[in-house]
A = this chain, B = another copy of it.
Amino acid sequence: MNPVKIGLLGLGTVGGGTVNVLKRNAAEISRRAGCNIEVAYASARDLNKPRICDTTGIELTTNAAEIVENPDVQIVVELIGGDTLAHEMVMRAIANGKHVVTANKALIAKHGNEIFAAAQKQGVMVAFEAAVAGGIPIIKAIREGLAGNHIEWLAGIINGTGNFILTEMRDKGRDFDDVLAEAQRLGYAEADPTFDVEGIDAAHKLTILASIAFGIPLQFDKAFTEGITRITREDVEYAEEFGYRIKHLGVSRRTDSGIELRVHPTLIPEKRLIANVDGVMNAVLVQGDAVGPTLYYGAGAGADATASAVVADIVDIARVLSAEPSHRVPYLAFQPDQMADTPILSMDEVVTAYYLRMAVIDTPGVLAEITRILGESGISIEAVIQKAGRGEGDTVPLILMTHEVKEGQMNKAIAAIESLDAVQGEITRIRVESLG
């Protein structure tokens, strides 16, 4: 089968990430999509600039227009950013009958109505998962996953820079200006941080989410924005005293009289999951009448995370380029004839850390005996809690946390420890996952 040919506009962070992900996961992606995806052409302002990706095999140009006019290109992936050249190129690509994938929130929020009307007329697709919350598939979740719901409201931490600043202010008791300067040094914030800290970037994203949730046109000009520049560390502390966290939240809610569309600093009860989304991470909470509250969490920016969403859109479009059943979403994500025979591991082969609780007779040398057995089995100890008895000879609980080891080895060690005279009954063993 002929590969699907991509023309990529822009080879910066997200463009480079997209080339890398498509190359690194090419086999797996074609097992899912049922076809190969090839970045055949790419444009960049300066072809001599160092890149994060290998461009071997890609025909490069400094002229984006060449790509949107090229009859060989089936999908134009716009990763230029901004809404001048990007806008022009997307409109020309659509006019030429090409499908479009974009990560450009400003473009969609401000010019989406025009873009979609043109695309509808031409019968082409325009996909923009990467425009909101980076790698989190939040557009797909709302648009398709919650299609049965009357969506009541949504609220999101959708700007990583702002969330990093507020998290640092809380964790370290630092001032806004101090953290902003650090964020700029780390590359989390732009030299001109206005878009991030004043909520404009978040308002672009919120405008898009509100449109797909409530079935309304994109209306960025009606979004309210208030920045986080005036939040003090005292506010963060007082909020804490009340049991709240301060987050820069985008909120859109359907009311009897209309739809709220607003970005501003917000206190959230600390027990809510979203109040605990820290650092540069993003999360969106969506309340549907049928599903109740749902939350979607992940990286909101970064080369590979954003590329994850761009590639998902490319695969979606590639699947429906023809209407044959083979282009439908496969039942199990991978094509039926592409299932792998990778073995399922026995538990003996599984590697985890362990929590062990046992009852031991409180005599000298018991702990030494147990740690010797563990050591001989290659198991190292992370932490110990030994409860004191009232006197020697009492039965007391001993709790151990171990580092990671194969379960087979742990089973042998447990059997050996259980056979000690000083150990009473069976050892309680619970596996430990750091999930990080």
Binding site for B on A (CB under 8 A): 17, 21-22, 24-25, 28-29, 31-33, 112, 116-117, 119-120, 123, 125-126, 129, 134-137, 140-150, 155, 211-219, 222-224, 230-232, 234-235, 238-239, 241-242, 244, 246, 249, 251, 254-255, 257-262, 264-269, 272-274, 276-277, 283, 285, 288-299, 302, 304-305, 307-312, 314-316, 320, 323, 325, 328-334, 336, 338-345, 347, 349-351, 355, 357, 383, 385, 397, 399, 401, 428, 430-436
Instruction: Collect the chain B residues with CB atoms within 8 Å of residue A329's CB.
Output: 143-144, 316
Q: How far is the CA of A246 from the CA of B224 in the complex (A)?
A: 42
Q: In the complex the two chains form, is B273's CB within 8 Å of A432's CB?
A: no
Q: Is the CB of B148 within 8 A of A311?
A: yes
CB-nearest residue of chain B to A271: B276
- Using Cβ atoms and an 8 Å threshold, which residues of chain B touch A385? 238, 241-242
Complex alpha-carbon distance, A242 and B357, angstroms: 13
Contact (Cβ within 8 A) B312 A145: yes
CB of A124 to closest CB in B, whole Å? 9
Give the interface centre of A232, A272, A295 by most chain B CB atoms within 10 Å: A295
Report the bound CA distance from A329 to B246 in whole Å. 36
- Taking a contact as CB atoms under 8 Å apart, the answer to whether A305 and B334 are in contact is no
Q: Kindly state the separation between the CA atoms of A328 and B328 in the bound complex, as whole angstroms.
A: 11
7 further A-B contacts with Cβ under 8 Å, apart from A293-B435, A295-B297, are: A25-B289, A140-B140, A155-B433, A268-B432, A290-B304, A292-B302, A293-B297
Distance A244 CA – B355 CA, assembled complex (angstroms): 10
Known: A257-B349, A431-B265. A22 touches B215 (CB 8 A): no
Q: Which of A32, A148, A297 has the most CB of B within 10 A?
A: A148
User: Cβ of A261 and Cβ of B357 under 8 Å apart?
Assistant: no
Quick one: which of A293, A294, A349 has the most chain B CB within 10 A?
Answer: A294
Question: Which one, B309, B336, B343, contacts A258 given CB within 8 A?
Answer: B343
Residue of B nearest to A252 (CB): B344
A146 with B312: CB separation less than 8 A: yes
* Contacts A258-B343, A258-B344, A273-B297; A332 near B215 (Cβ below 8 A): yes
Q: Which residues from B are CB-within-8-Å of A434?
A: 268-269
**Closest chain B CB from A134 CB (angstroms):** 8
Q: Which residues of the partner chain B approach A261 to less than 8 Å between Cβ atoms? A: 344-345
25 A-B pairs, CB-CB below 8 angstroms? A25-B290, A32-B215, A120-B336, A136-B294, A144-B312, A146-B308, A214-B342, A215-B334, A216-B339, A217-B339, A219-B344, A232-B428, A235-B355, A241-B385, A251-B433, A258-B342, A264-B431, A266-B431, A272-B435, A273-B297, A293-B298, A293-B299, A293-B435, A294-B297, A323-B323
